[in-house]
Structure 1
């Protein structure tokens, strides 16, 4: 049991879980718009997500405590380096135009972690409202626009609606994280729950979720896809309703983040 818990913690802390979620969203876009499966792109995004997230989460820790890193963090560092090399390999397999299209989203991720504001004291992550918007923009752009562009497909109205839906969906899925972090965030970090309260944050999420459902019926004519999304609608609604400041360790970091993976799994069953 201890081994399983250790493995699960590594799976989450090393960002494999979140990378699977991003990969799943890329594949969902390919299914929705009937794009050919682009394996190098999917794996590039997967390993880039691990690299980017671990850079955001652990770069500061490694810099401050580089001589006394725990074995756990050292393992994650080595794992991240391997993922970075794999990211570079799959990037090499992609056309230059695809990589150039990805650059703005990669740059946003970099600026999310590296201080460049207020005399190099603040990064995008330290700005409450901007934090959640930046993450949603990067996820929406990487998981919708990038695979469509890489497939040399036109950006139709449905694609833009999908970007909007994905943007809103990511914000919704981030709300339980912000609710969890209310008790840990600095006073100066004005996240949505800290500004309007936990209950109002949930109501805000309900409205966004309803908009996502409306957009779903505008994006896909496939009734089976709509049915799957309707099921996800109620699941996300439940997860948002149950989100609390004193939630369990795995509530957001595993269960909430697993929603895109479940979405893809259900689509594969059709």
Structure 2
């Protein structure tokens, strides 16, 4: 049991799980927009997510002194380096316009972790995008919808049709809704200066906001030119599951509730479509 827990912790802490979620959402986008299978984008997004998330999470980790994390951290660092190499390999197979877009998102990720602006704009001793008051959830949503929708369209010379624009909006809304259980869970630990959504409007109103976002995520599907009945059914199931996750979110939930189950939602959606 202990070994299984350690493997699960490594799976989550090394960002494999969140990378699988990005892979799944990218795959769903390709299917929903009728873009031919682009495995290069899928693999690039997977390895880029691991690289980017681990860079953000563990940048400056040497300031910590938790010896129990040292060995795992070394393993994650080596693992991240391998994923960075694979990310570069798949990046070289992408089109030039895609590489320009990736550079933009890469800069956002870099600035998300690296101090670069005046302290008066920031929190405590940090000076990065991650700690700007109220900005974190929107930066994450922007990058997610960028790599899962805009990047696949760019790399396949696609047009930004009405369906594509709606999909961008849907993914942006979906990621914000997915982030709400995380923000509720971290309510007791986040600095007040972060001005997270639960800190601003309270847990009950945050949940109500989540339900509204889920409704928007689902019903804007009807504005698309190509509406698939089976796809609507799957999206309805995912919307209901997300509402349940939001409903049961609270400050006392353990990390597995959000970091495993909530983040697994795009994977569940992909599995429904595969089945």
TM-score by length of 2: 0.94
Give 1:158 deviation, angstroms: 1.0
Contact 2:97-2:154 at 8 Å conserved across structures: no
CA distance in 1, matches of 2:28, 2:259: 21
The structure-2 alpha-carbon separation of the partners of 1:73 and 1:130, relative to structure 1 and needing over 3 Å to count, comes to same
Taking the aligned partners of 1:37 and 1:260, their CA distance within structure 2 comes to 18
Counterpart residue number, 1:57: 57
CA distance in 1, matches of 2:40, 2:171: 22
Task: Tell me the equivalent position of 2:237.
Answer: 231
Query: How does 1:60-79 map onto structure 2 within 5 Å?
Result: 60-62=60-62, 64-65=63-64, 70-79=70-79
**Structure 2 unmatched ranges of 5 or more:** none
Q: What SS does the corresponding residue of 1:128 show, helix, strand or coil? A: coil
Partners of 2:113 and 2:161 in 1: how far apart? 33
- Mapping for residues 84-103 of structure 1, pairs under 5 Å: 84-103=84-103
* Partner-residue secondary structure (3-state), 1:152: coil
Gapped runs of 5+ residues in structure 1? none
Cα separation, 2, equivalents of 1:66 and 1:50:
24
The runs of at least 4 consecutive aligned structure 1 residues that moved more than 3 Å come to 65-69
Identify if the C-alpha distance between structure 1 residues 194 and 66 changes in structure 2 by more than 3 Å, giving closer, same or farther: closer
- 2:272 equivalent in structure 1: 266
- CA contact under 8 A between 1:169 and 1:209: conserved in structure 2? yes
In structure 1, what is the equivalent of residue 28 of structure 2? 28
Give secondary structure in 1 for the equivalent of 2:116.
coil
2: CA distance between counterparts of 1:54 and 1:116?
A: 19
RMSD between aligned alpha carbons?
1.5
Q: 2:196 matched to which residue of 1?
A: 191
Aligned residues between the structures: 268
Q: Deviations over 1:94-152 (max 9, x none)?
A: 12221112222221111111111225941111023211100000001110111011111
> Deviation at 1:67?
11
Q: Which residue of 1 aligns with 2:171?
A: 166
Query: Does residue 1:125 correspond to 2:139, yes or no?
Result: no
Q: Work out whether residues 140 and 167 of structure 1, in 8 Å CA contact, stay in contact via their aligned partners in 2.
A: yes
1:217-269 CA-partner distances (Å, limit 9, x unpaired): 22341110000000111100000000001002200000000000010110111
> CA contact under 8 A between 1:216 and 1:229: conserved in structure 2?
no
CA–CA distance in structure 2, aligned partners of residues 216 and 8 of structure 1: 35
Structure 1 length-normalised TM = 0.95
